[in-house]
Amino acid sequence: MKKETNRRKDIELHNVTFDNFIKVIDRCKGDVYLETEDGDTLNLKSKLCQLLGLSHLLSKTETIDTTIRCTDPEDEIMLLRLNLYGELPDEV
């Protein structure tokens, strides 16, 4: 019997401002990873990795192929709402 993995869906971001993206990342409870087309994986909960990841994205002039993965389902929902509706989570 094959064991089923609990793998999260990949998130593709569209028309999201970097400021709002970082605000949502900072509110996430679990780890959030940026995976580049080069195979690099950066944990965006780290400010250093945020700078590296965003500089990587900004340096590209052509279409960017990156993936966002979350370890917490609630974090995934926050990022999807930001992506689809431009909504930031309510301040606590």
Q: Residue 47 has what pLDDT? A: 92
- Count other Cβ atoms within 10 Å, centred on residue 77: 12
Per-residue pLDDT tens over the stretch 38-84: 888 999 999 998 888 777 777 765 555 678 899 999 999 999 888 88
On whether the pTM is more than 0.75, the answer is no
Q: What is the CATH code for 18-85?
A: 3.30.1340
Q: Residue 92 has what pLDDT? A: 39
How do the domains of the chain map onto residue ranges? Answer: 18-85
**CA 26 from chain center: how many Å?**
11
Q: Residue 7 has what pLDDT? A: 52
Helix, strand, coil shares of the chain, percent, nearest 5, are 40, 15, 50
Per-residue pLDDT tens over the stretch 4-48: 445 556 777 777 777 888 899 999 999 999 887 788 899 999 999
